[in-house]
Amino acid sequence: MAKSQERNRQFPSKISTTSFVKLYIMHLLNERPHYGNEIIDEIRVRLNGKWEPSPGMIYPLLREFESEGYISGWWQEPDKRSIRHYKLTPEGYEHYKKIKLLYKSNIEDSLVMLRSIMADIYKEK
């Protein structure tokens, strides 16, 4: 069987969870500065409480973005180092524009698939 004819045994996932969360972090930081727990809360609220990223996902991504120069951070109280706020850098804004465009068709494909499933199985439009 040719590779193009091989069955895909995995349900097609058009965008990984990590990629989705990276995009959402950039989106939120494009709106205004946030700190880590605030990002988690904001995503949960915007997704109507259906899902939220874990701190174990958010904080490594924030450190990764900061080391790549996409965001900059500062401590609210530098001597206590309790809450670190982040904002998008100009390089981060350029990266945000790129991944926003890159993931758009994947998100649209996922929506089409899910709407088709709802219409087919649950007879919803």
Q: Structural domains in the chain?
A: 17-122 (1.10.10.10)
Nearest to 95 by CA among 74, 68, 63: 68
pLDDT of 2 strictly over 90: no
Confidence tier at 14 by pLDDT (50, 70, 90) = confident
Tens of pLDDT along 60-77?
A: 999 999 999 999 999 998
Annotate 27-48 with b (16+ C-beta within 10 A) or e (fewer). Answer: bbbeeeebbbebbbebbeeeee
C-alpha to C-alpha distances, 39 to 12, 71, 75, 97, 107, nearest whole angstrom = 27, 14, 16, 19, 21
Global pTM exceeds 0.95:
no
Maximum distance among all Cα pairs of the chain, rounded to whole angstroms: 64
- Could you tell me the sign of the dihedral formed by the alpha carbons of 73, 64, 13, 94, in that order? positive
pLDDT of 11 strictly over 70: no
Q: Reduced to 3 states, what is the DSSP secondary structure of residue 111?
A: helix
pLDDT of 5 strictly over 60: no
Which ranges in 71-89 belong to alpha helices (H)?
none
pLDDT of 34 strictly over 60: yes
